[in-house]
Amino acid sequence: MPRYDPTMSLGPRFSSPDATALITGASSEIGEAFASALASLGMNLILVARTMPKLETLAQRLANQHGIRATAIAADLADLVAAQRIRASVDEFGLRVDLLISHAGYGLGGPFLGAGFAPDLESSTLTGGGLEMAIGMRDSDDESTKTRVEILKVPGARLYYEVRGSGPVLLMIPGGPADAGAFVGLAALLADRYTVVTYDPRGNSRSGLDGPPEDWRADVQSDDAARLLAAVGTAPAYVLGSSGGAQIGLDLATRHPEQVRTLIAHEPPAVELLPDAAHQRAFFREVYDTFRSDGVGPAMQKFLVGAGLAETGLGLVEGAPASAGAAPRSEPTPEMAEMRARMGKNLDLFLAHGVRQISGYRPEVSVLRTGSTRIVVGVGDASRGQLAHRAGVALAERLGTNVVHFPGDHAGYGTHPAAFAETLHNVLTGR
């Protein structure tokens, strides 16, 4: 039986002297085989794996043997920002990518881009499609490879926002102390189909305030979102709001329905709709009082435990310890550590001015039921029993609709971005 040649399907395009292949999982035996075969054809290489020593040795050996350029980049694709880190390194070295071989260490049959998010890849955030969009393939002029950063002046604040991709506008609104970084993996996976807009809500991270902090108000937040939508497009937009961002989205659909085509309200903490609303109100007051008396750490621990979120990893930001029962996380990359620290600095604002106000917002169900905006309430398929899941179910019942189950728990957009992206796209397109 003839020996399989992994390069047998490559066309003449890859024979040019500056053609470059990027291989993730390059330190595996399969990845090394691809690297050796491509180097023998004269292709330059960008080799990616979790650890550097073996990778550098391989790169040096192939460069010496075949007279090619071989660059080693250490990155763990289980991290949400891995693709951005790879892209930054590619740009820094002045490289371009013609061929992507993703997850070379995994043995999946069939075309990778048609394989979906296979169970074999549960530990990895980035599928081939998402990585291809993030690193920017040569000869690709589509906007999904680019991220534009802008600042929008609004009354009392300056909103930091990012725009990537092309197509109908999809605005993503984060909740609580989160910022645009919460959606970085999800946005990369949808940028080939949508103009994805992510932003830091006022007072969070890079969206500075003009004056001292004030209590969270749904109308102020939704006005910010409406101004942002007006700045990036004229047609009614798709909106995804998660957690407190879903509360903002609900107010946006109530007060600015002409700007919202479809709202996906993912686990809104609308506890005022629950039968035990008074009890929940008292709980959030206790969180606030704990913050005032004992500080961020104890207050966030009380919040995460009481909301059923202690094991989700949502507390893994600087100043908010995770529960002892939380699943272990891999060592964060410098970019991930920076993002956690950045969001951690928002916890004071969240606990002092947001935690009671966000949960205290009561959606105007009668207006939403008769309005022009299509409202879809999403809940996590792994968050049953958690407070925001319960509130989402209660909202859907009031609206007379069924909930849509999204992959993962309250933070499923971050833990299962590929599957979450496909569910989101299917909902938006009515599939």
Question: Whose CA is closest to 268, among 251, 238, 248, 247?
Answer: 247
What is the predicted pLDDT for the residue at 277?
Answer: 97
Same domain (yes/no): 263, 397: yes
CB neighbour class for 332 (10 Å; exposed up to 12, middle 13-18, buried from 19) = middle
Rounded average pLDDT over 255-268:
97
**Of 48-52, 85-89, 143-147, 153-157, which gets the smallest average pLDDT?**
143-147
Rounded average pLDDT over 33-60:
87
Same domain (yes/no): 318, 341: yes
pTM, to two decimals: 0.68
DSSP 210: S
DSSP 97: B
Same domain (yes/no): 153, 28: no
Q: Token digits for 420?
A: 């979450």
Same domain (yes/no): 334, 204: yes
Q: Token digits for 174?
A: 């984060």
The residue range of the domain holding 233 is 147-428
User: pLDDT exceeding 90 applies to what percent of the chain?
Assistant: 57
Query: Does residue 255 lie in a domain region?
Result: yes
Give tens-digit pLDDT for 75-91: 876 655 566 677 777 77
Query: Does residue 142 lie in a domain region?
Result: no
Cα(183)–Cα(180) distance, integer angstroms: 6
Query: Does residue 6 lie in a domain region?
Result: no
CB neighbour class for 178 (10 Å; exposed up to 12, middle 13-18, buried from 19) = buried
Query: Does residue 162 lie in a domain region?
Result: yes
Query: Does residue 387 lie in a domain region?
Result: yes
Give tens-digit pLDDT for 386-399: 999 999 999 999 99
Whether 208 has a pLDDT exceeding 70, the answer reads yes
Q: What is the CATH number of the domain that holds 286?
A: 3.40.50.1820
Cα(328)–Cα(308) distance, integer angstroms: 17
Cα(167)–Cα(185) distance, integer angstroms: 18
Query: Does residue 283 lie in a domain region?
Result: yes
Query: Does residue 5 lie in a domain region?
Result: no
Cα distances from 37 to residues 117, 202, 272, in angstroms, run 27, 51, 62
CB neighbour class for 203 (10 Å; exposed up to 12, middle 13-18, buried from 19) = buried
Cα(39)–Cα(2) distance, integer angstroms: 21
What is the predicted pLDDT for the residue at 78?
Answer: 60
Same domain (yes/no): 97, 193: no
What is the predicted pLDDT for the residue at 41?
Answer: 85
Rounded average pLDDT over 24-42:
85
Higher pLDDT, 107 or 69: 69
Same domain (yes/no): 337, 381: yes
pLDDT tier, 338 (very low <50, low <70, confident <90, very high otherwise):
confident
Same domain (yes/no): 382, 414: yes
What is the predicted pLDDT for the residue at 396?
Answer: 98
pLDDT tier, 164 (very low <50, low <70, confident <90, very high otherwise):
very high
- The answer to whether residues 367 and 385 touch, using CB atoms and an 8 Å cutoff, is no
pLDDT tier, 116 (very low <50, low <70, confident <90, very high otherwise):
very low
Cα distances from 195 to residues 126, 166, 198, 241, in angstroms, run 20, 4, 10, 16
Whether 415 has a pLDDT exceeding 60, the answer reads yes
Whether 60 has a pLDDT exceeding 50, the answer reads yes
Same domain (yes/no): 214, 186: yes
Q: Which of 53-67, 103-117, 184-198, 308-322 is the most confident on average?
A: 184-198
Same domain (yes/no): 101, 76: yes
Domain boundary residue, one of 135, 161, 188: 135
Query: Does residue 140 lie in a domain region?
Result: no
Domain boundary residue, one of 86, 113, 135: 135
Q: Domain tally for the chain?
A: 2
Same domain (yes/no): 248, 158: yes
Same domain (yes/no): 205, 107: no
Q: Token digits for 102?
A: 């993703």
Q: What is the CATH number of the domain that holds 60?
A: 3.40.50.720
Tokens 């020996």 map to which residue?
A: 3
Rounded average pLDDT over 169-181:
96
Whole-number average pLDDT of the chain: 83
Question: Whose CA is closest to 38, among 97, 90, 87, 109?
Answer: 97
DSSP 244: H
Same domain (yes/no): 80, 210: no
